[in-house]
Amino acid sequence: MESTSGQAQDVRGALPEGLDDAIRGTAEDIAALLRGVADTGTAVPGSQWSLGEAAAHLAQANELMADIAAGRARSHGDGTPQSLAAANEQALAAFDERRADPLAEMIVTQADAFLKAAEGADEAAGRRTDAATPATPLGPMDLAELGSYLLTHMLGHGYDLARALGRPHMIDRARVELTLPFLVTAMPRVVDPAAAAGHTARYAVRLWGGAGIGVTFTDGEVAVGPQAPDRPDCTILTEPVTFLLMALGRCAPWGAIARGRALAWGRKPWLAPRFPTLFVAP
């Protein structure tokens, strides 16, 4: 049997440095929240799900990501928030496990399965020139983006579980920075057409510490990249945890600004509170 440290070193060939540890650590943190919880009927704040339903969704989603990384075709909605919500409910209805301890183990096991599949896919791609880009619920993504997607999804629902249990969450600056590849890929796919209609502006979005992205709207059409646009109309500087919570619809922009967790400047700083409303969290 290979050592844990050996596995981590191998997987880093497929994923950006630190992403494998973040995926494994986040899954373990979520499992630690769940282990020993007797009543999983507790309501999750801001959600229609109970604790058991949210944990079951996480277990199923981790399995879905592991299957995709392994090259197994999986269908789960058409990428729109409405279809993803419907697919989630359908999947939950067909899966009756709601006990905390078994779900905790499934979340960890499927996160590990994703990492092993990513390692295998990377090795296979190195031997081939026709390796397919994985198809995800939010469109095609490479392995790095898919891993970032898995991490982002776990952090969002892990935060919800921590709130439901009155425990500290597992989101930190390092993990937030590792969600950026997914967010750059996914943001154009989750624009709210009504909110963005006719909108033209250039945004530089930066996290405390330096990492960031650039978002440019041109008459409602968006382009997102890892670099800030030239001469941004609005620069938004955000505390990392707050940034991710806003991106995932867990935190309102005005509240973040009022608490000093988000600052804005530029030719049009008043655009900052509107920015999160231009997207619909899937």
* Predicted pLDDT of residue 10: 36
Give the residue extent of every domain in the chain.
Answer: 4-182, 191-278
Instruction: List all residues 6 or more positions away from 257 whose beta carbon is below 8 Å from its beta carbon.
Output: 263, 264, 272, 273
Q: Up-side HSE of residue 28: CA atoms within 13 Å toward CB?
A: 7
> Which class is 4-182 in CATH?
mainly alpha
The whole-model pTM stands at 0.90
Q: Mean pLDDT, to the nearest integer, of 222-229?
A: 95
* Predicted pLDDT of residue 128: 41
- Beta-strand pair 212-218/135-136: unpaired
Residue 238 identity (one-letter amino acid): T
CATH classification code of 191-278: 3.30.1050.10
Q: How confident is the model at residue 3 (pLDDT cuts 50, 70, 90)?
A: very low
DSSP string, 221-263: EEEEESSPPSS-SEEEEE-HHHHHHHHTTSS-HHHHHHTTSEE
Whole-number Å distance between alpha carbons of 25 and 258: 32
What pLDDT, in 10s, does the model give residues 131-175?
567 889 998 999 999 999 999 999 999 999 999 999 999 999 999
Paired tokens of 15: 């994923």
- The continuous run of DSSP H or E covering 205 comes out as strand 201-207
